[in-house]
Amino acid sequence: MKRSEINQLILSASKCFEINGWAFPPNPQWDVTTFGLGERLS
């Protein structure tokens, strides 16, 4: 998946959250490379 596709999905999710009155964390910094490794992000 290209980074531009990821950016578009994040933007789309942000709009969906806003429309439904949900809070999306500001400047989310998720690292998918640690997913499932039992590591916690601070």
Segments forming the whole domain that contains residue 23:
3-27
1-42: pLDDT as tens digits: 888 998 999 899 889 988 999 886 777 666 666 566 665 555
Per-residue confidence (pLDDT) for residue 1, from 0 to 100 = 82
Instruction: Identify whether 34 is part of a domain.
Output: no
Instruction: Identify whether 22 is part of a domain.
Output: yes
CA distance 33 to 41: 11
pTM for the model: 0.53
Instruction: Identify whether 11 is part of a domain.
Output: yes
Per-residue confidence (pLDDT) for residue 21, from 0 to 100 = 93
Per-residue confidence (pLDDT) for residue 10, from 0 to 100 = 85
Per-residue confidence (pLDDT) for residue 19, from 0 to 100 = 94
DSSP assignment, residue 39? -
